[in-house]
Structures are given as structure tokens and as C-alpha cells.
Copies of this chain bind each other. A is one copy, B any other.
Amino acid sequence: MMTGSIPAGAPESMSPQTEALAAGILAGQRRALARAITLVESTRRDHRGQASRLIEHLLPATGKAIRIGFSGPPGVGKSTFIEAFGMHLIRHGLKVAVLAVDPSSSLSGGSILGDKTRMETLAREANAYIRPSPSGGTLGGVARRTREAMLLTEAAGFDVVFIETVGVGQSETAVADMVDLFVLLASPAGGDDLQGIKRGIMELADLLIVTKADGDLAAAAGRAAGELRMALHLMRPKVPCWRAEVLTVSAVAARGLDTVWEAIGRFRTAMETTGELAKLRAEQARAALWREIEEGLIAALKEHPAVADQAPALERAVLAGETTPTLAAERLLTAFLGRTVRPE
């Protein structure tokens, strides 16, 4: 599996239990999938080692699902839409997994995302699998666990993976970095929605869906869609083969869901035939590699005794304008690396 030029790394291999999990996942067993995701979410060192080996073993069986991210402001009807759309796909014979990135979730509090009680009908389906966000830690840690859970669901045979996020901090960017297509749900109030669309999110979207397009709000939803189309028209496309589209949906009336799936199909076809999808996934993997390296380096630096000593005072001095970021960085790097470091 690994080429000869790559070092053996840690000598551990999969334990018999982990091997059984791998076999269970490849056979599409829900229980094996659930236990494997729990293993991946664990922070115990021995579990991390087994989780890594498990995922590496299953890698050839991953990649076949379409990966869709969902975000939108609170109250826009995300759970309602995801459940309705998930049920729509299941009725068409597809297997749908629903994961979540919510750095604010905690073991005690649970996450409001991926909460089965908000998607009871979908949760009961044999061909659906809903999992709450991994809890706690940094956004980077939560995102990594969700990405690994996504790979496990693909190895278990799911055709579609939804990854939802509430929009805390940089969580939309983290989700966009692991999906093929990013869907932004928008309120039918359009520009009159006092909150507005979080900056930086509109430019991530490949598809925008205005929700609650029924009854009194149907006309408003149409207007909001028009405003969004005009705004998108001003922006350069993310990829040459696809211009972001704006659709209106009534999840409650199950109206517009066909159109959403049809648009996603056109997106996927365009991205696959132009080779853009493979390019996107490779770039996401490369970016994830360097992000993990940076996070590991910063964590190691912060733990170093000499740095732990000097960092708070140096950061304060930078904030107070007593020294420059460059000089403070030089001092911390010198303390960590044990040799004088100057920026390029």
C-alpha cells in the first residue's frame, strides 16, 4: 500500500478488533461503522494509532460518494431541509450519511447538529446514517475527525455524504475544504434579513437555496433568489465549468427537491468531465496535509518550556506596540529551534 521510499513509520498494525471493524465496514454493517467513527473520535493515543491504520487500510474503498456541505443562518430551516432532501434521495434508492462540524458541541451538551431528534423520520431509515459532530477541542481537530468519519461512511457504501455546520467561527471554511459542493441555505427575507449572510460564505457557495418558499413567503423567496442571483453575477466563478445557481425550495411541501438533485447532478458531471473534481480533492488533501503540519508545529512550539515562558509576554508586547510581530516571532523561533532564525 505504501511505496518503498516512504519510511515504515510506527511499527503498529491493525489489531484483530480493528481488522474486524474494517471487514464490517466493507460489508456495509452500521454497527461497525458506528464503532469505527467512535474510535476515530477518541483522543487516546492507542486509539489514534489504530484509527489511522484503519483509515489507511480502507482508503482504496473511499472517494465514491458525492460530498455536500450545508450551512446557513440559525432559523433558516437547515434540519428540515436536510431531512426532506435526505428522504428524497433515500426514496430514489440512495444511501445517505449526515455528519456535522460544530466546534461548540461538548460531550455533556451535545450538538444541535446531526441531532437525531431533529430528523426523526430520516434517522429511522435503514439507508440513512446520522452522526452528531465530534465534540470539543479545536476546529482543526473536529474537522479532521469529521473528514475521517466521512471516509469511513464512503468505505461503508454510502452514496451521498452531507456535512452540516452552524457557522461558528471558520467552520464553513473547514467544511468547504472537505466537500465537493457547498450549499448555502438562505432566508426568504433576502436583504431584509437583519443578520445578512456571513462575510466570506457567499463566495464559498456552489448552490444557494432559498428555503420556506411556500404560502405567504413564496413571493418573498422568489425576490430573495433574484437578489442573490444579481450578487453572484458580479462575482468571478470559483471554477470555469460551473456558475453558482440559486434555487427556491419548500421542504415542508417537498417542492423543489428534484431540482436541487438535478442541479447537483449537473455540477458533478461538469466537475468530473473536466477533471476539476479530481483536482479539487487533490488540492483539499494537500491543503489538509500542510494545515495538520502547521497545527502540529504550533502545538509543539507552545509546549516547549522556553517558549511557554516567553510567549505570553512577547504576545502582549506585540499587542501593545512595544515590539514588532517579526521581532517577537524571531525570538520565539530562536527559543524553540535553539538557533537564531531570521525571516526570509
Which A residues contact B (CB, under 8 angstroms)? 1-3, 5-7, 9-10, 43, 45, 48-49, 52, 55-56, 59-60, 62-63, 137-138, 140-141, 144, 148, 151, 190-191, 195-200, 202-203, 227-228, 230-231, 233-238, 282, 285-286, 288-301, 310, 313-315, 317-319, 321-337, 340-344
Chain B residues near A341: list those with CB within 8 A. Answer: 296, 300
**A-B CB proximity, top 8 nearest:** A292-B329, A288-B325, A231-B231, A196-B236, A199-B203, A289-B325, A297-B297, A191-B233
Say whether A292 contacts B337, CB under 8 Å.
no
Say whether B196 contacts A6, CB under 8 Å.
no
Chain B residues near A7: list those with CB within 8 A. Answer: 310, 331, 335
Which residue in chain B gives the minimum CB-CB distance to A196?
Answer: B236
Say whether A310 contacts B6, CB under 8 Å.
yes
| Residue from the list B45, B236, B324 in contact with A199, Cβ < 8 A | B236
Say whether A323 contacts B2, CB under 8 Å.
yes
- Interchain nearest-CB distance for A192 vs B (Å): 9
| Residue from the list B196, B318, B321 in contact with A234, Cβ < 8 A | B196
A344 and B138 in contact, given A6-B314, A288-B325, A293-B332 (Cβ under 8 angstroms): yes
Chain B residues near A344: list those with CB within 8 A. Answer: 43, 137-138, 140-141, 295, 299
Say whether B324 contacts A59, CB under 8 Å.
yes
Say whether B52 contacts A313, CB under 8 Å.
no
| Residue from the list B63, B237, B337 in contact with A321, Cβ < 8 A | B63
Chain B residues near A286: list those with CB within 8 A. Answer: 315, 318-319, 325
Chain B residues near A198: list those with CB within 8 A. Answer: 235-236
Q: Compute how far the CA of A59 lies from the CA of B328 in the bound complex, rounded to whole angstroms.
A: 14
Which residue in chain B gives the minimum CB-CB distance to A314?
Answer: B6
- Interchain nearest-CB distance for A25 vs B (Å): 15
The dominant DSSP class at the A interface is helix
| Residue from the list B43, B197, B298 in contact with A294, Cβ < 8 A | B298
Chain B residues near A292: list those with CB within 8 A. Answer: 325-326, 329, 343
Chain B residues near A315: list those with CB within 8 A. Answer: 286, 289
Say whether A237 contacts B329, CB under 8 Å.
no
- Interchain nearest-CB distance for A121 vs B (Å): 32
Chain B residues near A199: list those with CB within 8 A. Answer: 203, 235-236, 238
Say whether A227 contacts B238, CB under 8 Å.
no
Say whether B234 contacts A202, CB under 8 Å.
yes
- Interchain nearest-CB distance for A264 vs B (Å): 20
Q: Compute how far the CA of A5 lies from the CA of B52 in the bound complex, rounded to whole angstroms.
A: 42
Q: Compute how far the CA of A198 lies from the CA of B288 in the bound complex, rounded to whole angstroms.
A: 24
Chain B residues near A45: list those with CB within 8 A. Answer: 342
Q: Compute how far the CA of A73 lies from the CA of B246 in the bound complex, rounded to whole angstroms.
A: 26
Chain B residues near A332: list those with CB within 8 A. Answer: 293
Say whether B329 contacts A296, CB under 8 Å.
yes
| Residue from the list B1, B43, B227 in contact with A322, Cβ < 8 A | B1
Say whether B236 contacts A56, CB under 8 Å.
no
- Interchain nearest-CB distance for A184 vs B (Å): 11
- Interchain nearest-CB distance for A159 vs B (Å): 19
| Residue from the list B9, B43, B234 in contact with A197, Cβ < 8 A | B234
